[in-house]
Structure 1
Amino acid sequence: MDQSTLEAYDRKAAFFAADWGAQPTPTDLQEIIRRFFRRGLTADIGCGSGRDTAWLCQNGFPAIGYDPSEGLLAEARRLHPSIQFRRNALPELEDVANSAFANVLCETVIMHLAPAVIPAAVRRLLCVLEPEGTLYLSWRVNETGSSRDEHGRLYAYFDEELVKGALNAATILLDERLQSASSGKVIRRIVARKSAAQVDSS
């Protein structure tokens, strides 16, 4: 993750946890998970304070949350003490085994990465999926170029083909652009199914 973004999340972890907790329930996201995910171990990559990880666990998708921010992980463990949260970061996801998960959720994370590493990050998300596993990937759309918000968080501008090219071995099940019911921001989201024949390399 971009270093200034990570520092912002560490510095203001309690603020962000409260802000996300106060947002409307992301019912659109939850409906998509119910539609496309299969029962099985799920990774929440960029889990933040654990809101979506907790929902997954409560709704039949046992989950592990991963985040690079120690501050956000502390909030997640405080709010959801029965759930596993581990420190890890894209694009490497070090020590996360290939083919380990039935599902991967990566909700509004990759726009915090430098565009040059986004393809590698997307390919790595596929690697940790089982054959025929499902990836939910979304990002905040920034149409006017890369920028930072008042907290210093990076919102990178990048061509969507960086993502689609990295998913060329997968089957796209859903591809849409919309206003998030939770944050109110414009997001792009893709649901993709990993090929049964895909060979992992990371």
Structure 2
Amino acid sequence: MDSETLHAYDTGAAEYADDWETQPAGTDLQDAVRRYFELGRTADVGSGSGRDTAWLVANGFDAIGIEPSAGLRAEAARRHPEVEFHDTALPELDGVAANSFTNVLCETVLMHLEPAAVGPAVRRLVDILKPGGVLYLTWRVSATDQRDDAGRLYAAVDELVVKNALAACDLLVDEQVTSASSGRTIHRIVARKHQQR
């Protein structure tokens, strides 16, 4: 994860969490999860305030949050004490076993990575999925690499790099849409990992 972005989330955790928790419900994300995920062990990678992880748990998923920002993990644990949150970061996801999740959710995280880390990060997200498991992946669309006033990186993610990293998957959804929650333009992919032969 980009260190300046991580620092911004650590120092402004309460404000960012307040913003995310009060945004409109992510009904598009929730609809996709209901359609494509199967009940089972689920990882929310880059779980932020824990809002989506808590929704997953409330809807029957055995879900955990994965969040590298200590500040955001503390906010998430305070706001959603029923949810388990872990400290590790893309692209490595140290300590997370391969083939261990039925579903992986990674909502608007990729653009916070340096471009060279995007391919390895996506391959690692696929790696932690069980064969036949489903990945829900989005990133904010940007024409150029930029930073906001807080220093958060919003890199221009190359969708071909993402798709090449999904070679072990079938694409179920591939679209550019407006997020129901943030109102921002995002690219959404839902992919199913190939069954082992």
TM interval, shorter chain, is over 0.9
Q: What does residue 140 of structure 1 align with?
A: 140
Distance 2:24 2:150 in 1: 22
**Unaligned ranges ≥5, structure 1:** none
Q: Any residues of structure 2 matched to 1:2-151 within 5 Å, and which?
A: 2-143=2-143, 145-151=144-150
SS in 2 for 1:196: coil
Query: How many pairs does the alignment contain?
Result: 197
- Residue 150 of structure 1: CA displacement? 1.5
Distance 1:123 1:41 in 2: 19
Cα contact 2:105–2:135 (8 A) shared by 1? yes
- Residue 164 of structure 1: CA displacement? 0.3
SS in 2 for 1:89: coil
- Residue 82 of structure 1: CA displacement? 1.7
Counterpart of 1:135 in structure 2: which amino acid?
L
Distance 1:15 1:86 in 2: 21
- Normalized against structure 1, the TM-score is what? 0.96
Distance 2:152 2:161 in 1: 21
SS in 2 for 1:121: helix
- Residue 169 of structure 1: CA displacement? 1.8
Moved over 4 A (4+): none
Q: For residues 76-106 of structure 1, give each alpha carbon's deviation from its aligned partner in whole angstroms, at most 9, with x where no partner exists.
A: 0000112100101000000101111000000
SS in 1 for 2:174: strand
Distance 2:39 2:137 in 1: 18
Q: What does residue 179 of structure 1 align with?
A: 178
Distance 1:36 1:54 in 2: 18
- Residue 151 of structure 1: CA displacement? 1.3
Q: What does residue 151 of structure 2 align with?
A: 152
Cα contact 2:110–2:157 (8 A) shared by 1? no
**Unaligned ranges ≥5, structure 2:** none
RMSD: 0.8
SS in 1 for 2:126: helix
- Normalized against structure 2, the TM-score is what? 0.98
SS in 2 for 1:174: strand
- Residue 22 of structure 1: CA displacement? 1.1
Of all paired residues, the percent bearing the same amino acid is: 58
Counterpart of 2:191 in structure 1: which amino acid?
A
Distance 2:188 2:75 in 1: 26
Distance 2:182 2:16 in 1: 12
SS in 1 for 2:191: strand
